[in-house]
Amino acid sequence: MDTETRTALKERARALRTEGLSYNEIHAQVPVSKSTLSLWLKDVYLTPEHRKRLYTKQIAVLSRGTPSQKERRKREIEAIISRASGEIAFPLSEDAYKLFGVALYWAEGSKGGSFEITNSDPRLILFMVRWVNDVFHIAPDMLKPRLNIYSQQDESAIKQFWSDLTGIPLENFGKSYVKPVNKGYKKNNLYYGTIKIYVPKGTDLLHIVYGWHNAVLQKIEDEIQLTERKWISLKETPRPVNLPENNLPL
């Protein structure tokens, strides 16, 4: 760029700046780098009206930026989920269906002597009710549910919701546990409460589920036992003692 052209561009840029244009707006008309514009325009006076306009424009750009980024990311996530969903072939094989239920039970089911599943997600609960029916031939009208809800919730309506969803008769519902009033802030709204579904005479079925679970994990069992033996000292840590509140150390 020769000196004459450079001088003309500088004068043009300064004239546009005195009209109150932003660096981006000037850059669209004056083809030089923004660092050069900053050097040329740093001493150009802007009227209060021009400053107000640029400030308002900047705020408008910023306010559009975040939602657009969120929308773009939302679309990306939707595309990822859609592609991943397409990788699952339906109908599921018998083994895939069986083991999906085993995994859900391993995560959310009772580890004691009873066959129970507890959750607040309607999808998980409905899947497990149908899984128990399909795999073990135990119909919904044989299941025994109980609710865990807050005092401000409508117990009757919530029971009806779960009954409509699962097909478990209302008369099968046991006494609900109503949580006492708590002033603490609850981040998650459990609109349907939490439901625990008990499978009567399900002890043997529970052992079957554990057998399937053990079969899947068999290949890593030796590695787990080896590591546990190495760190056996961790199991020697004394259990904590729950002291009454008035006996807590100061």
Q: Do residues 125 and 166 make contact, with C-beta atoms less than 8 angstroms apart?
A: yes
Distance CA 195, CA 140 (A): 14
pTM for the whole structure: 0.64
Residue 200 has pLDDT above 80, yes or no: yes
Task: Give the whole-angstrom CA distance, residue 149 versus residue 176.
Answer: 7
- pLDDT tens figures, 98-139: 999 999 999 999 988 899 999 999 999 999 999 999 999 999
Cα–Cα distance, 155 to 148 (Å, whole number): 9
All structural domains of the chain with their residue ranges? 3-82, 94-208
Dist. CA 150–CA 184, nearest whole Å:
13
Closest by Cα among 47, 33, 209 to 128: 209
Give the residue carrying structure tokens 């349907």.
192
Specify whether the CB–CB gap between 190 and 120 falls below 8 A.
Answer: yes
pLDDT confidence tier of residue 250, bands split at 50, 70 and 90: very low
Architecture of the CATH domain 94-208:
Roll (3.10)
**129-182 residue pLDDT tens:** 999 999 999 999 999 999 999 888 899 999 999 999 999 999 999 999 998 876
Q: Is 73 exposed, middle or buried (0-12, 13-18, 19+ CB in 10 A)?
A: exposed
Taking only the tens place, the pLDDT of each residue in 65-103 is: 566 788 888 888 888 888 788 788 888 899 999 999 999
249 pLDDT more than 70: no
The β-bridge partners of 148 are 177, 194
